[in-house]
Amino acid sequence: MNPVLENSLEQARPVFPFTAIVGQEEMKLALILNVIDPKIGGVMIMGDRGTGKSTTVRALVDLLPEIQVVADDPFNSDPQDPELMSQEVRERLQRNENLPVTTKKISMVDLPLGATEDRVCGTIDIEKALTEGVKAFEPGLLAKANRGILYVDEVNLLDDHLVDVLLDSAASGWNTVEREGISISHPARFILVGSGNPEEGELRPQLLDRFGMHAQIGTVKDPSLRVQIVEQRASFDASPVEFRQTYQDSQAQLGNQIVEARKILPQVQLDYEYRVKISQICSELDVDGLRGDLVTNRASKAIAAFEGRTEVTPEDIFRVIPLCLRHRLRKDPLESIDSGDKVRDIFKRVFGYA
């Protein structure tokens, strides 16, 4: 899209600033950590209606850093990493072609609730393939979301088959479309963010487990805080551009902090003793598989990087471990997801906290 047109569209529909969002720290932290380390595996946000889930996720767009992409490539191919390149770009490299490179902001793609599998995965033009002998592929939302964020509002109302497709692509980093003996694959590495209202039903446990983190949010109870939130929303609705300018500095500061955290993340160390204790907590909580261990390790490093440190502390682990484990606990089917208190109690005992 023409940059001038894109900018004018942004001005026509300004987004609520992320740093202006009051409360809901757990949700904001989970989103930020996933941007710092996309390999955490996404976040599922569950909460009451009208608690700002969609507003917060969409507000993240402003903070997303820029990435290098191959120009005019529908898959946002990385010019350096073959694992993040489309087949066409890899073939061009093998032919020693000069790839034009440009920078763009990490994109956020909204997945509509009524989307079909073809819309999500892409389609193959069989007629063109048979008559012209070329693999004519029309990319879907997974192609557009490569190296970005895929947001699904009301994910618990999405067809289970489609959720499976999304989670498989998010886990493998690839999307494969097969039709009439023709198969096309392309990279699809994205941060999957889902939101939903628990009153409309939970995701099946085996699907829920595939989300790296789970943030629970509730309606703010403090009357003065509620007034502040209402007044902020009214100010934004009355004059969005002016309201956004008020938060320009804090937005820039948080955006820079995320960029720096992504740079130092590879240097962050997690002590072996702490890794053993994380696994001990997972074992005592009877968490199935090793996803809980892996995600907690990654999230602990990401929060240390976010705060500009290269050593993980027990406090870092304490802050992220409920987000990483609460949705993996075995529970009575009639119970709602544990608030995280059980996870914190085991943490305190294993780490020797009073």
At 211, is the secondary structure helix, strand, or coil? coil
| 143 close to 181: Cβ distance less than 8 angstroms | no
Establish if 178 belongs to a structural domain: yes
Assign residue 15 the CATH number of its domain: 3.40.50.300
| pLDDT band of 127, cuts 50, 70, 90 | low
Domain boundary among 177, 193, 217: 217
271 and 201 within one domain: no
132 and 44 within one domain: yes
The chain-wide mean pLDDT, for the chain, equals: 85
**Cα atoms in the Cβ-side hemisphere of radius 13 Å centred on 213:** 33
| pLDDT band of 4, cuts 50, 70, 90 | very low
| DSSP secondary structure letter of residue 248 | H
| 130 close to 93: Cβ distance less than 8 angstroms | no
129 and 52 within one domain: yes
pLDDT at 132 over 90: no
How much is the average pLDDT of 49-58?
84
User: Considering just the CA atoms, what is the radius of gyration of the chain in Å?
Assistant: 21
Domain boundary among 192, 217, 242: 217
Helix (H) or strand (E) holding 282: helix 272-284
Rounded Cα distance between 301 and 304, Å, is 5
Beta bridge partners of 174: 187
280 and 176 within one domain: no
168 and 305 within one domain: no
Domain boundary among 184, 202, 217: 217
Beta bridge partners of 122: 139
**Quick count: other Cβ atoms within 10 Å of Cβ 256?**
12
181 and 305 within one domain: no
Establish if 324 belongs to a structural domain: yes
Establish if 79 belongs to a structural domain: no
Q: Which of 244, 291, 326, 328 is catalytic?
A: 291
Angle separating helix axes 291-306 and 272-284, nearest 10 degrees: 130
Rounded Cα distance between 190 and 41, Å, is 9
Establish if 85 belongs to a structural domain: no
> Residue 159 sits in which domain range?
3-65+106-217
| 28 close to 21: Cβ distance less than 8 angstroms | yes
Establish if 41 belongs to a structural domain: yes
Assign residue 291 the CATH number of its domain: 1.10.8.80
Closest to 64 (Cα-Cα) out of 302, 254, 268 = 254
| DSSP secondary structure letter of residue 306 | H
| Window from 49-53, 198-202, 230-234, 326-330 with minimum mean pLDDT | 198-202
8-26 residue pLDDT tens: 344 456 889 999 988 788 9
| 196 or 332: which leads in pLDDT | 196
**Quick count: other Cβ atoms within 10 Å of Cβ 204?**
12
| Window from 61-65, 147-151, 160-164 with minimum mean pLDDT | 160-164
297 and 192 within one domain: no
Total structural domains in the chain?
2
| pLDDT band of 157, cuts 50, 70, 90 | confident
How far, rounded to the nearest angstrom, does the alpha carbon of residue 272 sit from its chain's CA centroid? 27
Most distant CA atoms of the chain, gap in Å: 73
Establish if 255 belongs to a structural domain: no
pLDDT at 331 over 80: no
173 and 299 within one domain: no
pLDDT at 320 over 90: yes
pLDDT at 61 over 60: yes
How far, rounded to the nearest angstrom, does the alpha carbon of residue 131 sit from its chain's CA centroid? 40
Rounded Cα distance between 219 and 16, Å, is 19
pLDDT at 3 over 60: no
**Quick count: other Cβ atoms within 10 Å of Cβ 123?**
17
Rounded Cα distance between 72 and 177, Å, is 22
Q: How far is CA 211 from CA 87, 291, 292, 301, in A?
A: 28, 9, 10, 18
Establish if 30 belongs to a structural domain: yes
95 is catalytic: no
pLDDT at 273 over 60: yes
136 and 12 within one domain: yes
pTM attached to this predicted model = 0.86
288 and 176 within one domain: no
212 and 295 within one domain: no
Rounded Cα distance between 32 and 259, Å, is 11
How much is the average pLDDT of 110-114?
86
pLDDT of 8: 39
% of the chain exceeding 90 in pLDDT: 35
73-95 residue pLDDT tens: 888 888 888 888 888 888 888 88
**Quick count: other Cβ atoms within 10 Å of Cβ 5?**
9
Establish if 336 belongs to a structural domain: yes
Rounded Cα distance between 348 and 58, Å, is 35
- Give the tokens for residue 315: 């406090």
Beta bridge partners of 182: 179
203 and 143 within one domain: yes
| 30 close to 62: Cβ distance less than 8 angstroms | no
Indicate the pairing of strand 101-105 with strand 66-70: antiparallel
